[in-house]
Structure 1
Amino acid sequence: MTSPTVSQKHPRGLYVLFFTEMWERFSYYGMRAILFLFLIKSVSEGAMGLSEQVGGAIYGLYTSSVYLLTLPGGWIADNILGQKKAIWWGGVVIMIGHIILAIPGNSAIFFLGLATVAIGTGLLKPNISSIVGELYPEGGARRDAGFSIFYMGINMGAFLGMFIVGYLGEKVGWHYGFGAAAIAMFLGLVMFRLNGKHLANLGEPPAEKGKMTFLYVVVAALALIALLVLSGLVSAVDLAEGMKYLIIGITLLYFMYIGFFDASLNIVERKRVGVLFIFFMAAALFWSGFEQAGSSLTIFADRHTDRFLGSWEMPASWFQNANSFFILLFSAPIGAFWIFLNKKNLNPTIPVKFGLGLIQMGFGFLIMYWAAQYAVGGALVGVGWLTFTYMFHTLGELCLSPVGLSTYTKLAPRKYYSQMMGLWFVAASLGNLIAGLFAGNFNEENVAEMPSLFMQVCLFGVGVGLVLILLYKPIRSWMGGIQ
């Protein structure tokens, strides 16, 4: 057999980005796996001893901020640093943040570490994906395959991170776990620096620097928020609640402006913007359930699940790894299944795929509703309940997440292309924030309410999913021929 030609091979730069992102995701998901537990476990266990309500609000603010800060992170790359320098400095800031988290200290130091990690992730995350796209200027199936390989790196990093950081954090010491996340990001930086030559002429700084006004506004807003929280004038719970309504309000006004008041858009583009708004709300609802993985589902794993294998107790954070495992297991078969259905002219429309994603997320919480019935009686449930919940959530993710990202690239008006891609991340930000606030209801005094709380998420997910499926024809007609 002859060796493949250079044109058939993937660029070496892909593997540089693969391993850089793998180690960054190791640090992010590894730290996230133990974050909520560290916030709510007692001081005698070396943790912060916060209430579930406050811990959930802080968790939601952190995970929400990571996605919100991709907007200024993308702007900084486009207007000041270029994508390559943004990745490097983003990684440096992430590593510094994890080092701060690894140092035992007071709550102010810990929150400084969280904020630093969020800022660095917002700078790195959107720009590393952009350079992957630049590696394949011709587009087509080769680019799709390149992104599939890159996506595998994300899940490998998450899988390893949650195992190693989760074990160190819960079994050895919380700050050892945070320290492991710092080491992982350091390895990613070393990989990126030593092999940067394979990314020559990609992601370079712009010839003309953009105006700094936007950046000044972002920095001022972050400083104001930090001042309000640290001074005690605003609690974490109040801030999280306020952020929720602020994100919803700004997003609604933004979509209304584009859809109703921008006279440069024609009627077809306006209808497509309306479809994007529908998908935005559906995605935010999906992520608000899916991202319970690090909050309410982790509480359930820690307090109500029998994690003993013989005499050894499994870390509660390890259950979050089920998502990465099922992604690696199901990604290829589901991709092949869509291709098979397409050949038979049976491929579901985009609204139907969104609906299926939401319904499967809802089914996951239906499983948790049944599991919670046993927990209310004081019993520890088996590991299968959470495992099957994560399986349904992963199947839902594979129906909604890649389809949604692709749909935004197709439907966004050209003049709003980058902004609409940013709004896709805002949907994830809103979902993460709601997930953190929702987890605040899971305190040990109201265990009896657990089944009804899980059922609420189930009914919302299944209900909205069914509406999307039933209304697929008018939604599809508003898409103006885009499939």
Structure 2
Amino acid sequence: MAQSTAVPTPTRGHPKGLYLLFTTEMWERMSYYGMRALLVLYMVGATNNGGFGWSQAKALQIYGIYTGLVYATPVIGGFLADRYLGQRLSVTLGGILMMFGQFVLAMPGNSEALFYGGLGLLVVGNGFFKPNISTMVGGLYAPGDARRDGAFTIFYIGINLGAFLASAVCGTLGEKFGWGWGFGSAGVGMGLGVLVFLAFGNKLLGNVGKSPTQVARTKGPEQAAPAAALTRAEVDRIIVILVLALFVVFFWAAFEQAGGLMNLYTDTKVDRSVFGWEVPTTWFQAVNPIFIMLLGPIFAELWTGLGRRSKDPSIPAKMAMGLLLVSLGFVFMLGASKQSEAAGKAALMWVVAAYFFHTAGELCLSPVGLSMVTKLAPTRFASALMGVWFIANAVANYLAGLIGGYAEKMGEFDLFLAIAVATAAAGAVLLALAPMLKRMMHGADETKPVADEPTTGSQAQVA
């Protein structure tokens, strides 16, 4: 295993580098979710208002392809970081490319060439950025550190603080003042993230992420030959990553209806009036991040506290809970669909309740999954396997667009029912498989008792 070079930190606190990565990811997610909140509305928008005037089905198909590619390219970005660039340079390069991508989308003229060019820059930039910043969070902690799942939940709060800013800033500017203002503000947010990362990286991250892991691992007494065969335990752990990735496809294909079908449904079939004022559609994209910020600290403390007492549920069990909770969220969308069919509009609280349970499920699955990859992946393939993990998101986002498009053919109620049943079934199967998958981790997910004395960065290894 390669040694982490994280700066010293008390074992009950968190490294300051975590909060730098938190802030950088916050600005990047503000950029991504700001653009995402506007994307389908922009594509179906009237041409005399700057939109493309495309059909809902075409817009959702393009949305699914784009978001799928966003989560597919991290495999390549992770490989290049592991082999050649290092995680820190990759994050910087990715952030700069995404900033330019947003500015290209903001250019006037309603040009399809600029539209697809901007999306392309965002896809490539995200490939460099996404897997490497997540892997660097894991690099701050030693194997068995009970704080790791909690750290990823804190990191996840940063993601969703950015998503909240996206709806409040980018969504409002895009809906009220023009699409270019929304996309442009997303580019400014990404630029701020890059500046913060460059300004404080050396001070707060030490050497974490500076060198490619396949170069760094040749330094020190614990090195193995770069071409050394994987051990049986390493193979089993990789299999666990792949199996769990299959199940999270079900979760994200359901969850990502938020940016597509649920976004369009809220726009046309939900009564958004509050005390006589109509809430902008894009503001509903902020409901999930608000719940993340409220519930995230509770989940972070819950996982850390249970870990210290060796009572933490297994990673597969947590993910199964996430699937069951997202299924429950779609039960509320069934209520919304029934009401909108009968009365013309559904009460907004149906949608808010759905987002609440989707958020609780997300906190059981997504940050835990990121933490899991850093625990199970062999160090020399850490960023690449993080990219593989995001392939599940790629497949799910593409499927989300296809699934959402069926709403026009089969109706929202039947589609919401199918999603609820599929995710509940997947959750039940994963819960049944959880004991076997835990055994295949060979103890990599087990936590160790923590002490109050500091742990030096030179002693911390990346799992």
TM norm structure 1: 0.78
Cα deviations by residue, 1:21-43 (Å, 9 ceiling, x for unpaired): 22111111111111111112222
Structure 1: distance between partners of 2:423 and 2:430: 11
Give the secondary structure class of the aligned counterpart of 1:140: coil
Aligned residues of 1:67 and 1:429 also touching (Cα < 8 A): yes
Q: Which residue pairs with 1:78 in the alignment?
A: 82
Q: Distance in 2 between matches of 1:136 and 1:276?
A: 20
Q: Residue in 1 aligned with 2:55?
A: 51
Match of 1:203 in 2: 209
Following superposition of structure 1 onto structure 2, how do residues 9-408 of structure 1 map, counting pairs within 5 Å?
13-105=17-109, 106-135=111-140, 140-141=145-146, 147-198=152-203, 199=205, 201-204=207-210, 272-338=237-303, 347-377=312-342, 379-408=344-373
Larger relative contact order (Cα-Cα within 8 Å, sequence gap ≥ 6): 2
Aligned equivalents of 1:379, 1:44: Cα separation in 2 = 27
Distance 1:163 1:375, change over 3 A: same
Q: Indicate yes or no: 2:428 matched with 1:466.
A: yes
Contact 1:68 1:425 in 2 (8 A): yes
CA contact (8 A) 1:52 1:441 kept: no
Offset of residue 377 of structure 1: 3.5
More deviation, 263-272/463-472: 263-272
Question: What is the aligned partner in structure 1 of residue 390 from structure 2?
Answer: 425
Whole-Å Cα distance in 2 between the matches of residues 17 and 416 of structure 1? 21
Q: Relative to structure 2, which stretch is displaced further, 375-384 or 61-70?
A: 375-384
SS of match in other structure, 1:204: coil
Q: CA deviation at 1:15?
A: 4.2
Higher mean C-alpha deviation, range 137-146 or range 185-194: 137-146
Deviates more, 1:329-338 or 1:99-108: 329-338
Contact 2:30 2:166 in 1 (8 A): yes
Q: Retained in 2: the 8 A contact 1:287–1:432?
A: yes
Structure 2 letter corresponding to 1:322: V
SS at match of 1:48: coil
Shift of 1:47: 1.3
Aligned positions, number: 423
The AA in structure 2 aligned to 1:449 is: G
Change (3 A) 1:317 1:13: same
Q: Within 1, Cα distance between the matches of 2:434 and 2:85?
A: 42
**C-alpha distance 47-365 of structure 1, shift in aligned 2 (>3 A):** same
Q: 1:37 to 1:71 in 2, by over 3 A?
A: same
Distance 1:402 1:84, change over 3 A: closer
Give percent identity, aligned residues only: 41
Structure 2 CA distance for partners of 1:319 and 1:207, relative to 1, 3 Å:
closer
Whether the 8 Å contact between 2:33 and 2:166 is mirrored in structure 1 is yes
Matched-pair contact (CA < 8 Å) for 1:171–1:315: no
Moved more, 331-340 or 294-303: 331-340
CA distance in 1, matches of 2:351, 2:27: 27
The 1-side partners of 2:238 and 2:197 are apart by 38
Shift of 1:383: 1.2
- Counterpart CA distance in 2 for 1:344 and 1:140 is 12
Unaligned 5+ segments in structure 2 are 1-6, 216-227, 446-463
Distance 1:19 1:418 in 2: 20
Which ranges of structure 1 fall in alignment gaps of 5 or more residues?
210-262
Deviation at 1:482, TM superposition (A): 5.6
Query: How far is the alpha carbon of 1:136 from its aligned partner?
Result: 5.0
Q: Within 5 Å, which residues of 2 pair with 1:433-472?
A: 433-443=398-408, 446=409, 449-472=411-434
With 124-133 and 10-19 compared, the bigger mean Cα shift is at: 10-19
For residues 192 and 274 of structure 1, the distance between their equivalents in structure 2, rounded to whole angstroms, comes to 34
SS in structure 1 at match of 2:395: helix
Would the aligned equivalents of 1:52 and 1:442 in 2 still touch at CA under 8 Å?
no
TM-score w.r.t. length of structure 2: 0.81
Counterpart AA for 1:27 = S
Q: 1:321 & 1:111 partners in 2: Cα distance? A: 26
Q: Which string of whole-angstrom CA distances, capped at 9 and with x for unpartnered residues, describes residues 380-400 of structure 1?
A: 111111111011111111112
Corresponding residue number in structure 1 for 2:454: none
Partner Cα separation in structure 2 for residue 205 and residue 338 of structure 1: 31
Q: Distance in 2 between matches of 1:116 and 1:354?
A: 32
Distance apart, 1:471 and its partner CA = 4.1
Q: Could you say if the C-alpha distance between residues 415 and 95 of structure 1 is closer, same or farther in structure 2, counting changes exceeding 3 Å?
A: closer
Cα separation, 2, equivalents of 1:83 and 1:349: 29
